[in-house]
Amino acid sequence: MRKRARNALIHFGSRESGHSTLTNVLILLVLGGLIVTPITAYMRTGLEAGQTHERRTKELYSADAGGEPCHVAVAMEWSDSA
């Protein structure tokens, strides 16, 4: 009985009919869905991390740019009083 079932399964997967092609396509579709979902989540995490780094960089650059006029003003005030 087992040998017959095994032969039937092998024959079912190897024959070139519309049903086996549909079965193979559905199996590949399910496997693709199982693979794509974690990859998408991983890409989303990377995108969020990149946006966070970009936001922090802009904050640091704007803080540095805001400090520059203060240095100039202090230097001008210092040179006027001397």
pLDDT tens digits along 13-37: 555 555 788 888 999 999 999 999 8
What is the number of domains present in the chain?
A: 1
**Cα separation of 58 and 50, whole Å?**
12
> How many residues are recorded in the chain?
82
The separation between CA 32 and the C-alpha centre of its own chain, rounded to angstroms, equals: 16
Query: Whole domain around residue 55: which residue ranges?
Result: 2-81
Residue 47 confidence (pLDDT) above 70: yes
DSSP 82: -
Of the spans 1-5, 19-23, 31-35, 61-65, which averages the highest pLDDT? 31-35
